[in-house]
Structures are given as structure tokens and as C-alpha cells.
Amino acid sequence: MKFLKLSLLVLAFSLSAFTADHKYYISVTQIDYVEDKQSVQIISRIFIDDFEKLLRERYDENITLAGQEESASVDVYMDKYLKEKLMIKINGKPENLKFIGKAYDVDIVKCYLEIEKVKHIESIEISNEVLFDVFSEQQNIVKTNINSKQKSVILFPQKSNVLLKFN
């Protein structure tokens, strides 16, 4: 049942990506451990208009995402915000996220982050509060692929973190 609910939310997110206005407030964050590179690679997919609303309210009311006139400060603001709202502990130790960059895809912004020098993962604690401060209905889907095991969870304002074990 949990898998069905998660699948329906992912489908709704995918379908609503092609409409100018959406009624679902969700993001999808994929976390992959690449053992041979000792790297945790993260892609967070967020609706452009939702992220733009947040950045305007929090940092600069003139910000426009995905436009020809996009300010150079956008990456700085995205980096700062994501590091405040997306926190990861590996094996009980808080990790620093490195903001790699972003790419736009239709009405989604993909934010790329990385944690380097990760030798092994027995557990990962994820706190994802992205957009909770703007939308009370926001839900953040987190999908992991760690040690050849895939797990998925849905986080929301009342439950914004999860501990996953991989040993």
C-alpha cells in the first residue's frame, strides 16, 4: 500500500510537470551512493515556480528562474537555502553538501549536490524541509539507492526526517 501511494504521488508529480499551474506541492530527491567514487550524489527536483516564490520571499523579490535575465546570485541563494533545509548524516556524522549546480527541465529545476569521501554507509539520516516554510501542503519524496538497496520515503512538515539503515 505504501508503495502504491508513493507511486501515485510520483505519477502526479510527473503529470503536473507539464501544466503551468499545479495543485500538488511535492519535490523528489534522489540520493545515490557511488561506492567506487566514494561519493553520495544527490539530485533534488523542485517546481521552478515554487522555488522562485521561496527565493523571492526569502532573498530577493526580483529573482526570476529559468529566464534569460537570471541573476548570478541565484546559485548562491539556492546553495544557501538547500544547505539549510536538506541535511544528511552518514553513520551518525553530519555531512557537508557541495552544491554542484542546477539545470532546468520544462517546469522543474534539478539541483545537483554531492557528499565526497564517503567510504561506506551503514545508516543515513535525511532531513528534507525544502519548501516547508512556504507551503504547508508540501511533501518531499526521498528515494535512495545505497549499497544496491533502494528505499523511498515521503517527508512532510510533521515528519521531516528519517533514519535508513543499510547494514
Spatial separation of the C-alpha atoms in residues 105 and 66, rounded to whole Å = 9
Mean pLDDT across 83-99:
98
User: What 3 state SS string does the chain have?
Assistant: CHHHHHHHHHHHHHHHCCCCCCCCCEEEEEEEEEHHHCEEEEEEEEEHHHHHHHHHHHCCCCCCCCCCCCCCHHHHHHHHHHHHHEEEEECCEECCCEEEEEEEECCEEEEEEEEECCCCCCEEEEEECCCCCCCCCCEEEEEEEECCEEEEEEEECCECEEEEECC
**What order of strands is seen across the sheet that includes strand 149-155?**
98-105, 108-116, 39-47, 26-34, 139-146, 149-155
Among 47, 51, 48, smallest CA distance to 77 is for: 51
pLDDT at residue 21 in the model: 56
Query: pLDDT tens-digit profile of 104-159?
Result: 999 999 999 999 999 999 999 999 999 999 999 999 999 999 999 999 999 999 99
Q: What is the pTM of this model?
A: 0.85
